[in-house]
Amino acid sequence: MTETDRAAPEGLAVAPVRRTGRAFAARGAKGLKAALTASPIATLGGAIILFWAICAVLAPWLAPYPPNQLDPMALVDPFPSAQHWLGTDQLGRDILSRLLWGARTVLTVAPVAVLAAAVVGTLLGLVSGYRGGVVDALVMRVGDVMLAFPQIILYLIVITKFGASALNIVLVIAVTKAPIIARIVRAVTLDVRNRDYVAAARMRGESTLHILLVEILPNARGPLIVDIFLRLGYTTIAIGVLGFLGIGLPPPDPDWGGMIKESYGLLFVYPHMTLIPAVAVSSLVVGFNFLATGIREASFDV
């Protein structure tokens, strides 16, 4: 978030060589499954994510109250009770319900943003690494400019200029994360573009698109999967930060960062209003990071 641009640790650039698209798909799914069962850290991370995913999907049925419904009676005693298991917030809204709906928000915005960044970044990285020359120089230069921009300032400028909406958050995250993913993919592309099997594909008369997607891309699978999970964690933090700074999703719809911002002044009196969403957002990021670590350990042995 925050903030800095954190690329996956360096050791990850070493990718096992995969030849065909089918092998990629098979290994990808199997690799993930293997990592989930082999590494306790990955299992724990996966379980946390699964928990929040279930909360997000079932929010309309699980939530005891509508997320924005005010309960004036609860203002007298907002602490957790039989009616409100996690208590109510400064306006008398049920915290459990807002937490569940908030999970829905973050688990929609973060994956969409990361996926957009991954698609754009992968294409740019492939083309730039494979073509080289002017295209490469241009893509990398523009990427450098993006990365030189302190992220939080970019968010501030874009969001105060164009307004806070889920779409703008997705766009700004996609644009700032794409250069990092482009670099990872480009490094792999540069490494394999002169291999024999790529030359063979060219000789067979395969189209450039086929070469990029079927022959080259599978090599970047490992680092990409790890990076995507790390990115999901950082994006969750970024969304939380935007909410906390008051430039996230517009109220009153529940957003974990926003919940913390709104009740933060009451920390001395009603700490549960702030602590509960803080625990929620931290646990989700821990989940993503544990999963990324586990997969990395299982597939790269580092």
Partner 1 sequence: MARYLLKQLFNMAITLFAVTFIVFVLNELTPGDVVRKLLGPYASADQVEKVTREMGLDRPVMVRYAEYMANAARGDFGQSIVFRRPVSEVLWDRLGNTLLLAGVCFAIIVPFSVLLGVLAGMRERGWIDRSVSVFSSVCASIPEFAMGVFLLAIFVVQLGWLPGTSPLRDDTGWPIWTQLVLPAAVVVLYDAGYLIAMIRTSMVEVMRQPFIRTAVLKGMSFRRVVVKHALRNALIAPFTVILLQINYLVAGLVVVEMVFAYPGFGRMMLEAALAKDIAIVEAGTLVAVSVTMLTQVVGDLGYRALDPRISI
Residues that bind partner 1 (CB under 8 A): 1-6, 9-11, 41, 141, 144-145, 148-153, 156-158, 160-161, 233, 237, 240-241, 244-247, 257, 260, 264, 267-268, 271, 274-275, 278-279, 281-282, 285-286, 288-290, 293, 302
Least CB distance from residue 245 to partner 1, whole Å?
Answer: 6
Burial (CB count <10 Å: 0-12, 13-18, 19+), residue 203? exposed
Answer whether 219's CB lies under 8 Å from 17's CB.
yes
The residues, any chain, with a CB within 8 Å of residue 271's CB and separated by 6 or more, are none
Q: Which amino acid is at 216?
A: I
Closest distance of CB 182 from partner 1, Å: 17
Measured CA to CA in angstroms, residue 124 lies from 18, 145, 164 at distances of 21, 15, 27
Q: Is 190 buried (19+), middle (13-18) or exposed (0-12) by CB count in 10 A?
A: middle
Closer to partner 1 by Cβ: residue 130 or 290: 290
CB of 176 to partner 1, least distance (A): 13
Nearer to partner 1, 91 or 147 (CB): 147
Minimum CB separation of residue 269 from partner 1 in Å reads: 9
Q: Rounded to an integer, what distance in angstroms lies between the CA atom of residue 105 and that of residue 254? A: 8
Nearer Cβ to partner 1, position 196 or 301?
Answer: 301
Look at residues 3, 84, 41 and name the one whose alpha carbon lies nearest to residue 289: 41
Which of 113, 217 has the CB closer to partner 1? 113
* Phi, psi torsion values for 70, nearest 5 degrees: -90, 140
| DSSP bridge partners of 120 | none
With respect to partner 1, which residue has the nearer C-beta, 101 or 288?
288
* Helix ranges (DSSP H) in 39-94: 40-62
- Distance CA(82)–CA(261), nearest Å, equals 26
Output the smallest distance, CB 19 to partner 1, in A.
Answer: 27
Q: Which of 7, 4, 1, 15 lies closest to 301, judged by CA? A: 15
**Using an 8 Å Cβ cutoff, are 153 and 241 in contact?**
no
CB closer to partner 1, 289 vs 299: 289
Helix (H, G, I), strand (E, B) or coil at 88: strand
- Distance of closest approach, residue 71 Cβ to partner 1, in angstroms: 24
Q: How far is the CB of 278 from partner 1 (least distance, A)?
A: 4
